[in-house]
Chain A
Amino acid sequence: MKLERYLIGGGTLLVFLLAWELCADSGAINPLLISSPSRIAEAGAAAMSDPDFWTDVRVSANEFILGYVAAIIVGVPLGLLLGTSRRLSYIFAPFVDTLNAVPRVALLPLLIIWFGIGIWSKVAVVFLGAVIPILIAALSGVNTNEARFVAMAKSFSASRTKIFLSIILPGTVPYIFTGLKYAAGRALLGVVVGELYASTAGVGRMIADAGNMFQTDTLFFGVLIFTASGLVVVAVLDRLERRFERWRPGVGAPT
């Protein structure tokens, strides 16, 4: 069963790559436009031995990590706070809703005016992209808490801190992780768009430059870097989530 899945998936991928290579090598489609897997591999090998490429990777990674971590540091506590205080959530609701409705990359022209074209405008757009989903996830995690548990704890005269630490916080963990995964995609998007729009270094910059110079192979290699980072980030978050969720007794059908 599982074997079939891998066979068919891998087979299709292989056929796709072969067809791509053939189209480019036979000249059926101009390789300048579509490159080819072998050319991309060559460009990748060349880039790996180029110190400029590693600078680009480092810049992009810094932008992602700084923005994303700041979003977690702000988003999780603020979401929990807004979730536990009804009044505060009413006051902040219009701002959160508006920011949620605007694609945060639309703020880039402003962020460039405020922070310049260096790394900080990208950190800011990554932060804004990631913080809203994290905040909303934490908030809705608190709101969907099992009311019976809270009532039960109260009748055993548990303090507010105790209730928060032992019922509300553990209950929000799955929600927060859903938010974190979604936010990771938004953060990567911020890195790419920010660098395409205005920057001096970064993998997004590399893609844009390669596009301007018709270096399609380098361009594809840059896109692959982003694909790989997206896959890695989600895999890491999945693993962390399983770790945090290990204590939880399974509900539903055994898997």
Chain B
Amino acid sequence: MRRFYLQHERAILGAVGIIAFLILWEGFARGWWAELLQPLLGPQAARLQLRPIFISSPTRIARAAFDMIFVTGAIWKDFGWSGLEFTLGVALALAIGIPLGLAAGWYRRLSYAVEPFLTALNATPQVAFLPLLILWVGTGLACRVLIIVLLAVLPIAIGAVAAVRTVDARLIRVARSFSANDALLFRSIILPSSVPFLLAGARLAVGRGMIGIVVGEIYGSAAGIGAMMNQAGSRFETDKVFVGVLAIAVAGVGLVEGLRRIERRVEAWRPQVAA
């Protein structure tokens, strides 16, 4: 028994924490704690019952999720829209960020030229451009794709610059002394050694992309998970808002975990250096 606990301590304590939290939450919504502490606190105890309209409750959220997934199926359409925006946005950000970053890492002068722009854009919360984007392209799909690009392109580009800068200079010197040209150098040294940096940038970009989905959709959009949450929130359907939050959490964890897998797979060939 004790050995079992010690072996799985992490999972057991984590589960205990979650279950305690859920019971506490459900109790507030159903008034369990108000009833329980009635003799102790008197009329004050009624304060411990919170209206479900404010905090919802785990069972309500579960029921709403079940409805939205299996009964009405409403969530799939929103998932589809958000997924489309995310895919287009991140793909565009990769297509712009990687070549730009690699080039800026390799050509010193180019990096000097783009540096002021990257610094400024990096310091700005990029979502501040959202009203401008709406002026330019309206509130449709294009606007949400562009805000995701704007958010996601920087970590990708910065990762790519770092990738080129940290290439082992000895490898390049060896290749050069065997008169390798730039194209060969790029293909056989720079690209393979930059993969970890590019993937790290991509992982950051996934997080930024999720922010882009939410922000683009809660601000003037009719479709997608964020729009669903916005509408539910303005109708005080707290349980649906929570379903949206959970859906985003699941998607985010899934994507990051997927990227980690790819990272491990791509990195399998690399000889271990550290202990």
Contacts and interface: CB of A to CB of B under 8 A. Distances in A.
Interface string B5-25: 000011001101110010000
A231 B121 CA distance: 10
B233 A110 contact: yes
Contacts of B135: 33, 211, 214, 216, 219
A252 to B, nearest CB: 14
A253 interface: no
Contacts of B229: 106, 109
B211 interface: yes
B69 interface: no
A142 interface: no
B194 interface: no
Nearest to A196: B219
Interface stretch (A67-75, A88-96, A162-170): A88-96
Interface stretch (A146-154, A221-229, A239-247): A221-229
A42 to B, nearest CB: 18
A12 B124 CA distance: 19
Given A98-B249, A102-B252, A185-B125, A227 B120 contact: yes
B123 A95 contact: no
Q: Is the interface on chain A under 10, 10 to 19, 20 to 34, or 35 or more residues?
A: 35 or more
A9 B112 contact: yes
A158 B244 CA distance: 50
Contact of A91 (B14, B207, B230): B14
Contact of B112 (A4, A106, A189, A222): A4
Greatest chain A CB density within 10 A among B124, B214, B218, B232 is at B124
Interface stretch (A20-28, A50-58, A172-180, A202-210): A202-210
Q: State the main secondary structure of chain B at its contact with A.
A: helix
A101 B256 contact: yes
Interface in B217-256: 218-219, 226, 229-230, 232-234, 236, 238, 241-242, 244-245, 248-249, 252-253, 256
Contacts of A103: 207, 210-211, 214-215, 248, 252
Interface of B: 9-10, 13-14, 16-18, 21, 53-54, 109, 112-117, 119-120, 122-125, 127-132, 134-136, 207, 210-211, 214-215, 218-219, 226, 229-230, 232-234, 236, 238, 241-242, 244-245, 248-249, 252-253, 256
The 8 closest A-B pairs by CB, nearest first: A109-B233, A211-B131, A230-B123, A90-B13, A8-B112, A91-B17, A103-B211, A227-B124
5 contacts: A90-B13, A109-B232, A113-B236, A189-B127, A220-B132
Given A113-B53, A220-B132, 6 more contacts: A4-B112, A101-B253, A106-B214, A109-B230, A110-B233, A219-B131
